[in-house]
Amino acid sequence: MKRLIFVIFFLITPIIGFSQEKNAYQLFDKKGKKVDYGKLLIAAEKAQVVLFGEYHNNAISHWLELELTKDLADKNAIILGAEMIEADNQKQLDQFLKGEINQKQLDSTARLWPNYKTDYKPLVEFAKENNITFIATNIPRRFASIVSKKGFEGLENLTSQEKTWIAPLPIVYDSELPGYVNMMKMMGDHASPNMPKAQAIKDATMAYFIQKNLKEKSIFIHFNGTYHSDNFEGIYWYLKKTAPNLGILTIATIEQKELKKISTEDYNKADYILVIDEDITKTH
């Protein structure tokens, strides 16, 4: 009998030892319930706009962005857009997508982010290979810098051409939105009333270019820092101001050690919350 027990223990020990999975991420809905990727994909297929909030340096964020893009493109017409390319570089982006300039020329003529090659190039290359429109949605950073110093009024001095690269003036702004209020708190003694306005002009501009480039029976997938769409604010808020009935799905990203559950504080951060193991390699 003892020998039988020993044999059974010997046989099941490897099963016990290797049964623990090492998951890199877990998805939750806005109520904190675990969901699988398939449910996210089905929901995204029903949306007109998908706001994918990422951590800019998180490899899993970028991998899932590409996978979701591929899967949506498999059965749907899609349009891509990104915070990481500024509106005044749309011409260069279009030239690259059409094959009129090569990657080296794009690198030298557009202000690409330092992590473009590892994190955003795969998305742009997918768009190029599949003849998908890709929109540079962000305000040129030098204009956001003007707002951080002079407020929205500083934009009035832009040329007519320069104003085509931002949301139309005047900019609607609600300083009481929690995201902007929290930004002021985070900055502490260094806070200036213009700092959340600089964030708002980015949100407003990205929302403007998303809406401007929407097409019927297409899904616009937009990639942005998660703070720009968390809690249904930022880009989401600006989109809903001008198009209340627009079908928008939001994805927020958080990092934490535990993947089994999320804090109640993270409930309602987005329609779907992407929780990533905090030990995942950073891309920069």
Give pLDDT tens digits for 140-178.
Answer: 999 999 999 999 999 999 999 999 999 999 999 999 999
Name the band, by pLDDT with cuts 50, 70 and 90, for residue 14.
Answer: low
Predicted confidence at residue 1, as pLDDT, reads: 54
**Mean pLDDT of the 206-217 span:** 98
DSSP 8-state code for residue 282: B
**Mean pLDDT of the 107-127 span:** 96
pLDDT higher than 80, residue 12: no
pLDDT higher than 50, residue 7: no
pLDDT higher than 80, residue 259: yes
Of 14-23, 30-39, 108-117, least confident by mean pLDDT is 14-23
Domains of the chain, first to last: 23-277 (3.40.50.11550)
CA-CA distance, 102 to 29, in Å (whole number)?
41
Report the share of the chain in percent with pLDDT over 70. Answer: 93
Q: What residues pair up with 252 in beta bridges, in sequence order?
A: 273
Neighbour-count burial of 283, counting CB atoms closer than 10 A to its CB (0-12 exposed, 13-18 middle, 19+ buried): middle
Residue with token string 């198009």: 243
Six-digit token pair at 261?
């559950």
Q: Are 147 and 197 in contact (CB under 8 A)?
A: yes
Candidates 238, 237, 147, 155; CA nearest to 192 is: 147
Each residue of 58-96: pLDDT tens digit?
999 999 999 999 999 999 999 999 999 999 999 999 999
- Long-range Cβ contacts of 243-248 (<8 Å, 24+ apart): 243/211, 246/48, 246/49, 246/211, 247/46, 247/47, 247/48, 247/49, 248/47, 248/48, 248/49, 248/50, 248/51
pLDDT higher than 80, residue 20: no
Predicted confidence at residue 188, as pLDDT, reads: 80
Each residue of 218-250: pLDDT tens digit?
999 999 999 999 999 999 999 999 999 999 999
Q: Which residues contact 42 (CB under 8 A, 6 or more apart)?
A: none
Six-digit token pair at 14?
């490897």
Candidates 248, 276, 236; CA nearest to 25 is: 276
Name the band, by pLDDT with cuts 50, 70 and 90, for residue 3.
Answer: low
pLDDT higher than 50, residue 9: no
Name the band, by pLDDT with cuts 50, 70 and 90, for residue 4.
Answer: very low
CA-CA distance, 259 to 279, in Å (whole number)?
12
CA-CA distance, 77 to 146, in Å (whole number)?
37
- Alpha-carbon 257 to chain mean position: 22
pLDDT higher than 50, residue 8: no
Predicted confidence at residue 55, as pLDDT, reads: 97
pLDDT higher than 80, residue 13: no
Where do the H-state alpha helices sit in the chain? 2-17, 37-45, 59-75, 90-97, 103-109, 121-129, 141-150, 160-163, 178-187, 194-212, 235-242
